[in-house]
């Protein structure tokens, strides 16, 4: 049987039985050497081409794994993400954290389709950019790659991206499975969580993506409850396959993911990426009986099943789709919807045409779109804040200064109506810790990785304080991956924006919002604390122990449970109009809770309001409330709309460790509102 014969049989009769039979038939024709090759990344040739053609450029072309030319079996052709396709000169979308702030999974689906098209046009059939690790602490250096602190939000956005890329025939890979939320110690930290915490907080978003049909998954570097994730039978077989019914294949995180080849393969880790290291020992391990050939066959069949399923969905794309006008416009739309306004004192914004603007700071005219590690996207241009504002308001009205001398910045601000000060972080302060290829005793300065502090740099704080002495309206634009503690200066600002890393059209989007051409509608996908000590514990290089206990509560659930008042709550964001929620009612029927409500635009401009729905169990010892739905609603000035959000009862269930099952409580109250603390509640609803 040839691979295309297997695909044809599956297309004619697309059942699980046909899929299993055709995969087994292909596997039976392969030699042991061919089977072992199916389990290996072999990106060495691609890396050599990348160095020769592009210089030092990770994943400039697809990284191949597996494949069998004799039987026509294609390689798994890997492309990284998640802010776009890493290969070539692709469209740099805003980071996942900003896209999440839009509270719009339909938008994320469209971005996923664009990413799939650009991946296919450049030869890939696999996208490993669905990062759904939970943001437990904002110091995590790779927070920008994920969707925030809430499991429901992670799951819903991850599902949208998974379904979108696979609709075009690109295999989706959620990552990094599991408990991966510390970067500097990613090769050694042991994250521990009890059964309920694991299944209620850290795994449900992965399960959502598996239920949505993800064909692959990437195991993380770190340990989970004492065992490295790539070697963990509990994660890869007991939970992933036996509990969740996952039928796809698992790959290792790159280079250092696997620690014991026999243990990893026996646990269910199928492909070592991107080269062969530990799996080079497989022939000897099979010969000595430490790995059975039947175990190799299981892995090979899992890979074959995914390839056969994926092939009929493949929609080839022309090279012209890469960085096309439509995708650049989509990047701009996403930035406009996700940039979050935290403050607008005395309605200082929007900025009227003809006003003069000083754009100040280290990031005023510097390309700053996020990490320079595996998620880097090499777009040929980026619109900075200065360029975006200059194009919108005119060169004669917009002046630039990098902020190196605070007094010079003050002089420029003093001659302007507005001062837009651009502060925050870049790849030197947060991102992938590329220096750490082993055990590092002391972290070099400017090496990325986890943040050393949750506050912006001291020189930026000094710049804000100095510029605040001018009569100009002070607008602070924060660039970065997650929450910052800003209590020492936020009272000085007339306006504050969280623009995250906003992609290649980020400066254009910022100008759209500051001018009022776009009404801001982003909402925080994390909680901003008043003090760093308000967050859970974190582990850094130099700590006495590399073990950390992940508790049941973090983010807004911990703040509410412990009565901590945040600086800015989860789900918070301002617009140029005010919204109100009313007529909240909930009812349960046929396994679904229907939450009805009305939302009103009380302003004089049109806008979009991401309404959030939270559930509170009436049973003891539960989170005060948990996000269980959201709906983005467009409203004209003065308009009221009614809406309904359906919540499956299954989504309300908690894990019962004693019964080893998910069970819903008997009654819930549903809260509908504009943030986790600004809600109106329903009467109690009995669950059928």
Give me the sign of the Cα torsion angle 402, 407, 411, 417: positive
Query: What's the CA gap between 557 and 615, in Å, rounded?
Result: 12
| Beta strands at 76-80 and 473-479: parallel, antiparallel or unpaired | unpaired
- State how far Cα 381 lies from the chain centre: 23
DSSP-based three-state secondary structure for 104 = coil
DSSP string, 414-426: HTSSEEEEEEE--
Contact 425, 141 (CB under 8 A): no
Read off the tokens for 645: 């959000």
Query: What's the CA gap between 634 and 308, in Å, rounded?
Result: 41
Q: Of residues 100, 253, 460, 651, which has the active-site annotation?
A: 253
What are the backbone angles phi and psi of residue 267, rounded to the nearest 5°? -80, -20
Query: What's the CA gap between 194 and 36, in Å, rounded?
Result: 36
Q: Which residue bears the tokens 């309300």? A: 652
Biggest CA–CA distance in the chain, Å, is 79
The helix (H) or strand (E) run that includes residue 109 is helix 105-121
Angle at the Cα of 626 (from 622 to 632), degrees rounded to 5? 170
Query: What's the CA gap between 279 and 114, in Å, rounded?
Result: 35
The helix (H) or strand (E) run that includes residue 344 is strand 340-344
Contact 498, 482 (CB under 8 A): no
Query: What's the CA gap between 55 and 41, in Å, rounded?
Result: 21
Q: Which residue bears the tokens 């809406």? A: 643
DSSP-based three-state secondary structure for 606 = coil
What are the backbone angles phi and psi of residue 600, rounded to the nearest 5°? -120, 135
Using CA atoms of 421, 422, 425, 426 in order, give the dihedral in degrees to the nearest 10.
Answer: -150
Read off the tokens for 247: 């039928």
DSSP-based three-state secondary structure for 432 = coil
For residue 617, which of 561, 568, 554 has the smallest C-alpha distance? 561
For residue 610, which of 96, 105, 83 has the smallest C-alpha distance? 105
Query: What's the CA gap between 234 and 209, in Å, rounded?
Result: 19
Active site residue 231: no
What are the backbone angles phi and psi of residue 524, rounded to the nearest 5°? -60, 125
DSSP-based three-state secondary structure for 137 = coil
Q: Which residue bears the tokens 């669950």? A: 687
DSSP string, 71-85: GTBPPEEEEE-SSS-
Contact 516, 546 (CB under 8 A): no
Give a three-class secondary structure readout of 147-178: CCCCHHHHHHHHHHHHHHHHCCCCEEEEECEC
Catalytic residues: 253
């Amino acid at each position: 049987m040839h691979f295309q014969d297997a695909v044809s049989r599956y297309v004619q009769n697309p059942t699980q039985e046909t899929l299993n039979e055709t995969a087994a038939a292909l596997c039976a024709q392969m030699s042991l050497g061919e089977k072992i090759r199916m389990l290996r990344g072999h990106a060495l040739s691609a890396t050599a081409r990348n160095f020769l053609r592009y210089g030092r450029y990770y994943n400039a072309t697809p990284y191949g794994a597996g494949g069998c030319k004799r039987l026509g079996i294609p390689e798994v052709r890997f492309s990284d993400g998640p802010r776009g396709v890493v290969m070539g000169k692709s469209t740099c979308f805003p980071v996942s954290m900003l896209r999440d702030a839009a509270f719009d999974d339909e938008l994320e689906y469209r971005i996923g389709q664009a990413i799939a098209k650009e991946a296919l046009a450049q030869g890939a059939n696999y996208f490993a950019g669905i990062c759904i690790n939970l943001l437990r602490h904002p110091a995590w250096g790779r927070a920008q790659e994920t969707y925030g602190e809430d499991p429901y939000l992670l799951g819903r956005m991850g599902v949208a991206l998974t379904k979108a890329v696979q609709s075009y025939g690109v295999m989706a890979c959620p990552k990094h499975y599991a408990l991966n939320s510390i970067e500097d110690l990613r090769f050694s930290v042991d994250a521990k969580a009890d059964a309920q915490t694991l299944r209620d907080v850290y795994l449900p978003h992965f399960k959502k993506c598996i239920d949505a049909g993800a064909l692959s998954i990437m195991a993380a570097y770190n340990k989970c409850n004492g065992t490295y994730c790539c070697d963990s039978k509990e994660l890869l077989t007991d939970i992933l396959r036996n509990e969740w019914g996952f039928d796809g294949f698992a790959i290792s995180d790159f280079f250092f993911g696997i620690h014991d080849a026999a243990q990893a393969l026996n646990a269910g880790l199928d492909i070592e990426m991107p080269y062969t290291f530990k799996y080079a020992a497989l022939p000897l391990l099979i010969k000595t009986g430490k790995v059975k050939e039947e175990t190799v066959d299981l892995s090979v069949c899992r890979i074959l099943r995914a390839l056969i399923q994926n092939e009929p969905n493949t929609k080839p794309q022309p090279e012209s789709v890469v960085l096309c006008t439509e995708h650049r416009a989509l990047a701009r739309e996403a930035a406009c919807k996700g940039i979050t306004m935290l403050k607008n004192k005395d309605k200082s914004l929007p900025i009227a045409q003809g006003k003069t603007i000083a754009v100040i700071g280290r990031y005023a005219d510097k390309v700053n779109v996020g990490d320079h590690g595996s998620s880097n996207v090499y777009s040929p241009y980026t619109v900075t804040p200065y360029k975006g504002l200059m194009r919108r308001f005119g060169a004669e009205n917009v002046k630039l200064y990098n902020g190196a001398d605070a007094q010079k910045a003050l002089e420029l601000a003093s001659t302007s109506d507005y001062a837009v000060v651009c502060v925050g972080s870049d790849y030197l302060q947060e991102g992938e810790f590329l220096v750490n290829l082993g055990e590092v005793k002391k972290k070099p300065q400017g090496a990325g990785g986890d943040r050393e502090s949750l506050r912006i740099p001291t020189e930026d704080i000094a710049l804000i304080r100095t510029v605040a002495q001018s009569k100009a309206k002070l607008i602070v634009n924060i660039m970065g991956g997650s929450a910052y503690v800003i209590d020492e200066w936020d009272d000085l600002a007339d306006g504050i924006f969280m623009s995250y890393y906003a992609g290649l059209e980020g400066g254009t989007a910022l100008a759209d919002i500051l001018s009022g051409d776009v009404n801001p509608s982003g909402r925080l996908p994390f909680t901003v604390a008043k003090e760093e000590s308000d967050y859970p514990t974190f582990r850094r290089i130099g700590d006495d122990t590399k073990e950390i206990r992940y508790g049941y509560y973090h983010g807004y659930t911990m703040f509410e449970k412990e009565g901590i008042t945040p600086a800015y709550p989860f789900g918070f964001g301002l617009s140029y109009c005010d919204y109100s929620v009313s007529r909240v009612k909930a009812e349960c029927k046929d396994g679904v809770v229907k939450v009805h409500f009305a939302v009103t635009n009380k302003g004089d401009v049109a806008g979009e309001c991401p309404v959030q729905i939270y559930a509170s169990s009436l049973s003891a010892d539960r989170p005060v409330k948990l996000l269980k739905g959201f709906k983005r609603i467009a409203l004209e000035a003065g308009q009221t709309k009614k809406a309904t959000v359906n919540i499956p009862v299954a989504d309300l269930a908690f894990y019962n460790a004693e019964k080893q099952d998910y069970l819903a409580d008997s009654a819930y109250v549903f809260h509908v509102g504009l943030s986790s603390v600004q809600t109106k509640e329903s009467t109690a609803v009995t669950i059928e």
